[in-house]
A and B are shown apart, each in its own frame.
Chain A
């Protein structure tokens, strides 16, 4: 094993939050090293330029780590989830869709609202300035002025095109008297920061042009220019703790050579996502887990999905994949029979004819045999997808653990996921399914299909695009893993900046909030580095 000279800050994971933290800290003059187990993903690596893009997105470019055969991945055992993850520079922004809504103020106060989920130790107002900063850095599009959300600065670029699918949906929502608003996106509608505007191709699972913010294009160049050293093919094995209770550094394997090395650091940041972070902590002799909350309270969101088809062609294979957001049911209303709310993420449809026939959001399929083409002509470019995505309640039994038997090729235990929706979640999903049908009827659909993601045995096999809550932030060291600055209660120079820190999941895609939280934490570390690099006082003391 070799040992390198200590750096100021060692970051594990080069995904979106690792990138943002590296940028802030290196721009602040600190010596920053980032370890990434995967590789750079070059634009030409993506499937977007290939005629077999659809097939690749289902196989070697699947967002589900368990459906592809990629050497950068690690085993994730799961009872139900389809785990969205990309292990490489830019992390899951290589395959995400970049729908970019924010949490709402009440999401931070569920403890006060009903007590079935905790309050955050911070408020929406604490985070709001960092949402704005993140938007400018990342490059977003949208329309300010939504009466269903707090006032905000204009997005750096204006809203993406209002497609015919959006128009059809807006009419349906108007008929129902429900809220709708053009979707905010981590996609630029105009050239911005050296990147080209969205060209409306419709393949919105990552974007090698960089119109959709792929953090290896939008953020990492800034972090590298500021002096961050990024070491790829470096898989973290264990975080080491010294006798004074501080993290001393990280053991990792150089996957090119197979050599195990130790990198010392004055401060360690973990940015390895809601699965990778608890896995690494648990594999590091149960580090930072005096609360027994590491890995618990896994949140995926409640999710059910519909597709419907209308008579006139609406060119729904073109344009950015999200069209509108519907926030009519986003706040708690106990008269519905459950707490928390949900949102409609209204889409366009798949850009792929093959996917239109073989099954997309609802998995509706064209019939085989005579009649196949008639179905295709009637449905292709006539369809609209709608996700209803809700705030699932934290449950300590929904969790990430490490598998006692299965290990990766370097001996690190596999991550093991267990997730099951609870009573409140199931009631919410029933309500959501009924409302999805309302939308299809109001839109005058001639065909409609929904999915509840339950398999033939009734198991909820959620597309777990969001894996959050597994090292949650809190005000009480006995019930949370990190404090309001993302700092471990137990290990004072250990910070967690990825999605595992969220205390509640809200009703939206989490990357905007995770990005804002990472910026906020990194700013705190930068401004307090001298003290943080020396203190041995456990925050929980």
Chain B
């Protein structure tokens, strides 16, 4: 459980290289590399993802997280302002490789902030989906269960009745061993 008292609220985002305005521009450029505008989709910067991201980064990871993000992008080759697209992508790629945990957190937070935006929600609708930013209010029109149409007819399935439970032979399972060390997805 995070101690709220540790989450101070006024970061110092500017540094010897960047003013606060420069740092804000750097974050805006960064989110635009993550989610560029395409066809009907607005870019992340256009819908203000950088502002949400900065606030949430500070609220969840503390005062120093936002300056740390700025410095991490700088360390990877930022600011991004004067760079062409390929160079911007290369900077972000370096940041991703060097600071995987911070990058992952920021990427996810940027995605969520982006798709919470009403202009983006409208773009989702234009791709052919019924989509609501706040679906709980009115719900979605989902077809009711039709007993004639939807009831399973396969007849499969069994269960063991209480009176039918019998001892199984586990002598060959060797469950006392600890041999299954390679388990899960990496086997």
Contacts and interface: CB of A to CB of B under 8 A. Distances in A.
Interface string A51-94: 11111001100000110110001011000000000000000000
Contacts of B21: none
A242 interface: no
A361 B156 CA distance: 28
Interface stretch (B8-16, B63-71, B75-83, B115-123): B115-123
Given A317-B131, A369-B34, A370-B36, A334 B168 contact: yes
Contacts of B175: 116, 338-339, 423-424
Interface string A167-184: 000100010011111100
Contacts of B87: none
Contact of A108 (B2, B140, B158, B162): B162
Dominant secondary structure at the B interface: loop
Nearest to B120: A353
A259 interface: no
Given A354-B111, A358-B111, A49 B158 contact: no
A200 B115 contact: no
Given A113-B166, A357-B111, 17 more contacts: A51-B118, A59-B60, A69-B4, A106-B162, A113-B167, A123-B162, A146-B157, A178-B156, A180-B152, A201-B135, A202-B135, A202-B140, A203-B136, A370-B36, A377-B127, A426-B184, A429-B184
A278 B159 CA distance: 33
Given A201-B140, A433-B184, A114 B162 contact: no
Interface residues of B, number: 81
Interface stretch (A16-24, A156-164, A264-272, A488-496): A156-164
A429 to B, nearest CB: 6
A105 interface: yes
A123 B165 CA distance: 12
A530 interface: no
A365 B103 CA distance: 13
B142 A200 contact: yes
Interface of A: 48-55, 58-59, 65-66, 68-69, 73, 75-76, 104-106, 108-109, 112-116, 123-125, 143, 145-150, 158-163, 170, 174, 177-182, 189, 198-203, 208-209, 304, 313, 315, 317-319, 327-328, 330-332, 334, 337-339, 351-359, 365-366, 368-370, 372-373, 377, 380-381, 423-424, 426-427, 429-430, 433, 450-452, 454, 460
B129 A105 contact: no
Nearest to B34: A368
Nearest to B89: A369
B107 A201 contact: no
Contact of A353 (B115, B155, B176): B115
B107 A331 contact: no
Contacts of A334: 168-170, 172-173
Nearest to A453: B184
Nearest to A76: B1
Given A334-B170, A339-B170, A454-B184, A189 B115 contact: no
B65 to A, nearest CB: 14
B89 A200 contact: no
A368 B92 contact: yes
A159 B116 contact: no
A438 to B, nearest CB: 15
Interface in B1-45: 1-2, 4, 7, 33-36, 38-39, 41
A66 B118 CA distance: 31
B159 A330 contact: yes
Contacts of A148: 156-159
A161 B136 contact: no
Nearest to A356: B115
Contacts of B107: 358, 365, 368
A99 to B, nearest CB: 16
A160 B145 contact: yes
A433 B185 contact: yes
Contacts of B154: 174, 179-180
Contacts of A365: 107-108, 111
